[in-house]
Every structure is written in C-alpha cells, then in structure tokens.
Amino acid sequence: MSYKVYTVDNEKENRALRRKSKRVQNPQDPEMIILRQEMDRICNHPGVAGIAAPQLGKPVRIFALSGGIDTSGGVSNNKRRLPNLFFYNPRLIGYSSESTKSIEGCLSVPERGGYVDSPNEITIKWDCPSSFTCPAGVSGGKNHFHQYTFTGFHARAVRHEMDHLDGMIYIDHCEKVHTNQELEAMFEAAQAAEKVNPDDLMTVAEEATKSELEGMKKKRAPRKKKEPASTK
Ligand SMILES: [Zn+2]
Ligand SMILES: [Zn+2]
C-alpha cells in the first residue's frame, strides 16, 4: 500500500495539513510502522529532502530527513547514502537569531517555491524508540532521546518539517509564492547577471515534484540500491 501525499490544492487535504499533530504514543503500532516505511520510501526518492507525517494524512508528530546527515554533522556525498533519519515527537530547544532567506519547496505545494527567512541554526530534541536502529548507535534496547543542532540547509529542512507538525506550511512565511517556471526564469536571469546563489539552486531542487513521485509509485519494489542523481 502507499499513502497519497496531501497537497494544499485539495480543500479537504489542505484542512488536514492545517491540523496540529499529536504526540506519537506507540511507534510500534502497526499503523505507525507502515507510516515509517512509507516515509522512508519517499525519502529515498532522489530530490526529496524530507517529509512529515501530516503530509501523508497522519496527524502524528513524526518527520524524516533523507539520508545525508551523519551524527557528527557531516554531509554525505551522493555516492554513499546515509540512512534516512526519523524524528519522533521533536521539541524545539532553540534557534539562532541569524537567519537566511532562501527558496523552499514542498511536496504538499507542487510545482511552486518561495523565499523563506529561516534560522541558520536550530536545536531540537527528539525521541529515539528502542525498537528501531539508533542512528547514533545507542544500544541496549532503551527508549532514549537525542539533541542536536542543525545548521545551514539542514536547519531549514528541520524548521520546515517541524512547521508541518503544527499545521504550518512554508507558504505562510512567504511574501510571494512563485511557480517553478517563474523561478527558473529568475535563476536564468540571475545566472546571466552572475548573481546566482548556488544555495538557492540546490534548495529549489530539494523536493521532488508530484509527477516524479507518481512515477516512483509505479516502479516501486524492488528498490534499487543506487539511483541516479536527480537533475530535476
Ligand atoms: Zn513540506
Ligand atoms: Zn538513538
């Protein structure tokens, strides 16, 4: 089975996306396990940076970031993917007053993007259930938590996904939401003027388009070990 990604374009789905999600009580609940598998599958798709449970119509406080962050904060290269990271019941601990304006996209707002001012650093604390492999290698079968300070793009991704858990979407922070076509034209113009910020280009390509996801559903199992890097 696979879940549908809810979008703001559908009135009913938009209402669901705007709900505040509840704490996860039992990560071992069969429904929660299926949800985790589905989020994992979506994160494995090239171009997807992360997903939050409410985007799949499940109002629980879980989000995932696609592989690329190791526990020492390093970022993997494209050749060797790190496992996707799961965050259960994340709590905001703090964030930097310094922020950066950059483009964000969202699977729930297909084919669009917009500039969002987001903190350069964000610290959160989250539950790491005993039943799953701990990314930091904590063993002993105990429920525990992690606290970590994310920086740069990852800080933005964490803020974006945390927002989803409270029924917020990046477009709430934007003065203007652009279509992908408008963004491409803006980038071309900026490139021509040599004013392009490479970070913007990276960010806008971070979330796959809906059509890419649809394509993925059709050719799911068995999952390929390595997928070609998406050029969007
Ligand atoms: Zn999103
Ligand atoms: Zn852990």
Question: Which ligand has the nearest atom to the CA of 140?
Answer: 2
The Å distance, Cα 46 to ligand 1 centre, comes to 15
Predicted pLDDT at 81: 62
Q: What distance in angstroms lies between residue 106's CA and the mean position of ligand 1's atoms?
A: 4
Exposure of 44 by Cβ count < 10 A (0-12 exposed, 13-18 middle, 19+ buried)?
middle
CA of 26 to the centre of ligand 2 (A): 16
Residue of 12, 9, 6, 10 lying closest to 38 (CA atoms): 6
Q: What is the CATH number of the domain that holds 47?
A: 3.90.45.10
Convert 203-219 to b/e letters by CB count within 10 Å (16 or more is b).
Answer: bbbbbbbbebbeebeee
Cα(126) to centroid of ligand 2, in Å? Answer: 9
* Nearest ligand (C-alpha, residue 136): 2
| Distance between Cα 111 and ligand 2 center (Å) | 35
pLDDT in tens, 145-164: 999 999 998 999 999 999 99
How many whole angstroms from 50 Cα to the centroid of ligand 1? 7
Q: Is residue 4 part of a domain?
A: no
Of 4-13, 19-28, 110-119, 191-200, the one with minimum mean pLDDT is 191-200
Question: Which of 9-18, 38-47, 126-135, 208-217 has maximum average pLDDT?
Answer: 9-18
Separation of CA 29 and ligand 1 centre (Å): 25
106 in a structural domain: no
HSE-CB for 73 with a 13 A CA cutoff: 11
Higher-pLDDT residue of 232, 111: 111
Residue 63 in domain: yes
Range of the domain at 37: 11-99+121-168+210-218
Instruction: Tell the burial category of 138 from Cβ atoms under 10 Å away from its Cβ (0-12, 13-18, 19+).
Output: middle
In angstroms, the Cα distances linking 32 to 25, 26, 28, 39, 88 are 10, 8, 6, 10, 11
The stretch 172-183 carries a mean pLDDT of 93
Q: Residues 70-107: pLDDT tens digits?
A: 444 444 444 456 788 999 999 999 999 999 999 999 99
Which residue reads 């970590």 in tokens? 148
Counted domains in the chain? 1
DSSP assignment, residue 60?
B
Tokens 């390929």 belong to 224
User: Cα of 98 to ligand 2 centre, how many Å?
Assistant: 29
Q: How confident is the model at residue 69 (pLDDT cuts 50, 70, 90)?
A: low
Whether residue 58 is contained in a domain is answered as: yes
178-179: strand order across its sheet: 99-106, 109-119, 178-179
Could you tell me which of 90, 28, 30, 26 has the C-alpha nearest to residue 63?
A: 90
The per-residue pLDDT for range 103-116, each reduced to its tens digit, is 999 999 999 999 99
All residues at 6 or more sequence positions from 153 whose CB lies less than 8 Å from its CB, including other chains: 49, 199, 202, 203, 206
137 or 30: which carries more pLDDT confidence? 30
> Which ligand has an atom closest to residue 105 CA?
1
Does 145 reside within a domain?
yes
Looking at the domain assignment, is residue 189 inside a domain?
Answer: no
Dist. CA 148 → ligand 2 center (Å): 11
- Mean pLDDT computed over 28-42: 95
32 in a domain, yes or no?
Answer: yes
Mean pLDDT of the chain: 81
Ligand nearest 5 Cα, by number?
1
Comparing 224 with 2, the larger pLDDT belongs to: 2
Q: Residue 139 Cα, ligand 1 centroid: separation in angstroms?
A: 32
Query: How many angstroms does the Cα of residue 84 sit away from the middle of ligand 2?
Result: 13
Peptide bond into 110 cis (omega under 30): no
pLDDT confidence bin for 132, thresholds 50/70/90: confident
Amino acid 3: pLDDT? 84
**Within a domain: 173:** no
